[in-house]
Structure 1
Amino acid sequence: MSTAFEEVRLRLPHIELAAHLFGPEDGLPVIALHGWLDNAMTYARLAPKLKGLRIVALDLAGHGHSDHRPAGGSYAIWDYVHDVLQVAEQFGWQRFSLLGHSMGAIVSVLLAAAMPERVERLALIDGLIPYTGEADSAPAKLGEALKAQLALAGKSKPVYGQLERAVAARMQGVGAVSLEAAELLAGRGLMPVPGGYTWRTDARLTLPSPLRLTLAHAHSFVQSVQCPVSLILAQQGMLQAQPGVAQLLEKLPFELHSLPGGHHLHLDDEAGAQAVADCFNRFFAKA
C-alpha cells in the first residue's frame, strides 16, 4: 500500500511535532488526531479518501516521530489540547475542524467544548469521553500513579529481534488491529536499537493517570460542544462498551453512524476506510 503525503515538522513554542499533510492546500482545514500509542499512520487509508480537505495528521507528543515531553513532564489529556491549538496557530487557522480516533476523538471534544469559537466541525471515530474517576477514588489513584512513576526508572521497553515480532505484538495490543494496519503503525512507531527494534513512544505514556475527570466533568464537555458532530461507532469497537455511553448519545444532537468493524475500522482494511470516508465526505460537504 502506498500513500501520498508530505512529511513535516512543526516547531511549536514548547515542543516539536511531526505530521503528515494530505489534500489540497486550499482545502477545508482539518487537524487529525490518532489514538493512544498510535501515530499519524492511523490515517494512511482514510485521509486520501477524504475530499476537499487540508489534513494535518499529527504524531501527538510522545508518539511516532514527535518529541517527548521534557523530563518531569506528563501526558495529561488537556496538554494535548494545548498542543493542537498551537498547531492551528502555526498554520494561521482561526477556524478549523478536527478528525479524531479514540484518544484523539476525546482531545477533539475537549477542545471543541472549551473553545467553540475555533472549531468548525468534529469527525470522530470510536471515541468520545475518557475513562473517568470519582472523588472517592482520587487519593488511591494518585498513589498508584506516584508509585508507577518511581518504578519507571527500573523498567525497559521490549526489544524485538525481528520486525515481524513487533508487528505481531501490535496486532494484539490495545485495540487489536489487522496485519496491514499493524505494519503501518509499527513502521512509523519503531526505532532500531542494539538487538533489534523497540517502540519510539515515550514510556511515560503507559503510566496510570494521576487524576481523572469525573463522569460529570466528561458529560459537561460533551454537552458543551456547539459545532456539528459526526460520530462513527464501530460495532466491534471500544466506545459502545463504555458504561453509560449509549444513554449519553441519546441526549446529544450528533450524527451517528454504526459501522461493522473493530476499533481501528478506518485502518484495518480498505472497505472499512471507504465506509468511514463515505460518512465523513457527506458530513464535510455540508460545511
Structure 2
Amino acid sequence: MTARVEEIRLNLPHVELAAHLYGPEDGQPVLALHGWLDNAATFARLAPKLEGLRIVALDFAGHGHSAHRGAGAGYQLWDYVMDVLLVAEELGWQRFSLLGHSLGGIISMMLASSMPDRVERLALIDGLVPYVGEAEQAPQKLGEALQAQLDLRTKRKPVYATLEQAVEARMKGVGDVSREAAELLAVRGLMPVPGGYTWRTDARLTLPSPLRLTRAHARAFVEALRCPVDLVVAEQGMLASEQLLMTWLTLLPITVHRLPGGHHLHLDDEAGAQAVADCFNRAFAVP
C-alpha cells in the first residue's frame, strides 16, 4: 500500500465529490465505486495492484470526504448512477470501465446496462443486483420509509471516545472486516466532534428505500448488459448465499470468479487483494 495516491475534488453541478487517483495518466480509464457506508479507502490495497489503469476511486455523495446532498434530496440508486455519469463528463471520459464493490457493483451494473455506449468493462466485487421488493409490498415499504425520515430528526450519530472504539465498531458493521481494513475505512470516514469521533457519513444513508426495484426489474437490467463482466464472488460474502442469484448467473454471459474470503476480501488483507487483482488484471489485459 505504498503506491502513490493523489487526492482530488470533482465539482459536479449539484455536489462536490472527493476521490483518490491512482495509476499512469495514459492508463485505461476506470471509475472505482465503493460499498454502502464505506469510502474510497476500500480500494487502498487493490488499486495499486491493478496494472495499466487510471483509477479514480470516488467517495460517493454523503460518504468519506465528499459533500452531503442538499436538504430534501435523497440517496436512491439512480441518484448515484447520475453522479458517476457526471464524474465521467467532468473527467472528459467518453468511454470508461467500472470497478465496483457491493453497492458500487450495483451502481456499476445499472449504469452499464442503461448507458452501454459509455462503459467498456465491469469488474465487480461481491455486488451485482440491488435488494428487490415486489409491487404488493410497495405501500407498506413507502410508509416505513416516510416514518423513518420523520424519526431521523431526533436521532443522533454515535460518538466514540477513541479511534480504537470506532475501529472496533466498524469491524462489526455491514460486512465484517479485518482490523486493518476497518482502520483504513475509519481514517477516511471519521471526523472529530466534542467527546471524540463520529462518522462523516450523512445520516440519511441509513434510511430505508422508499421504493425498490422488483425482481423483474433487476433481471432486466442485468440481461441488458453488453460489455464484458467479471464478477468476484467471495465464498463467505453476501452473494454466495443467494442460491437463486448464483443459479441465475450460470445462465448469463458473466465471468464469475469464486475466491475465499469475506465481503471485503479485496481490503481485509494483502493476499485477498492480490487474488482479486489477479482476476481483474487478466480481464483488463484482454483487448
TM-score of the pair, normalised by structure 2: 0.99
Residue equivalent to 2:211: 211
Q: Does 1:17 align with 2:27?
A: no
For residues 197 and 9 of structure 2, the distance between their equivalents in structure 1, rounded to whole angstroms, comes to 23
Aligned residue in 2 for 1:60: 60
In structure 1, how many angstroms separate the alpha carbons of the residues matched to 2:243 and 2:280? Answer: 26
Pick which of 26-35 and 235-244 moved more.
235-244
Counterpart Cα distance in 2 of 1:250 and 1:188:
37
Secondary structure of 1:65 counterpart: coil
Task: Trace 1:87-236 onto structure 2 (pairs within 5 A).
Answer: 87-236=87-236
1:68–1:202 contact (8 Å) kept in structure 2:
yes
- Give structure 2 stretches of 5+ with no counterpart: none
TM-score by length of 1: 0.99
Cα deviation, residue 225, structure 1: 0.4
Matches within 5 A, 1:221-260: 221-242=221-242, 244-260=244-260
* Helix, strand or coil at the partner of 1:13: coil
What residue is the counterpart of 1:270 in the other structure?
270
Secondary structure (helix, strand or coil) at the match of 2:154 reads coil
Partner-residue secondary structure (3-state), 1:153: helix
Contact 1:5–1:22 (CA<8 Å) still a contact in 2? yes
AA at the equivalent of 1:162 = T
Contact 1:3 1:44 in 2 (8 A): no
**What is aligned with 2:74?**
74
2:261 match:
261
SS at match of 1:240: coil
Query: 1:46 maps to what in 2?
Result: 46
Deviation per residue, 1:132-186 (Å, 9 max, x gap): 0000000000000000000001000000000000000000000000000000000
Once the 2 structures are TM-superposed, how far is the Cα of residue 243 of structure 1 from its aligned partner?
5.0
Aligned residue pairs, count: 287
The percent identity for this pair of structures is: 72
RMSD over aligned Cα atoms: 0.7
Q: Which amino acid aligns with 1:18?
A: A
Report Cα offsets for 1:240-273 as digits up to 9, x if no partner.
Answer: 2235211210111111100000000000000000
The Cα shift of 1:3 comes to 4.3
C-alpha separation in 2, matches of 1:201 and 1:2: 26
In structure 2, C-alpha distance between the alignment counterparts of 1:151 and 1:165, rounded to whole Å: 26
Instruction: Map Cα deviations across residues 23-61 of structure 1 (whole Å, 9 max, x no partner).
Output: 001100000000000000000000000000000000000
> What secondary structure, in the 3-state scheme, does the structure 1 residue paired with 2:122 have?
strand
Aligned partners of 1:259 and 1:275 also within 8 Å = yes
How many Å separate the matches in 1 of 2:68 and 2:38?
A: 14
Could you tell me whether the CA contact under 8 Å between 1:123 and 1:280 is conserved in 2? yes
Q: Secondary structure at the match of 1:98?
A: strand
Give the distance between the partners of 1:107 and 1:34, measured in 2 at CA. 10
Tell me how far 1:13 sits from its aligned partner: 1.1
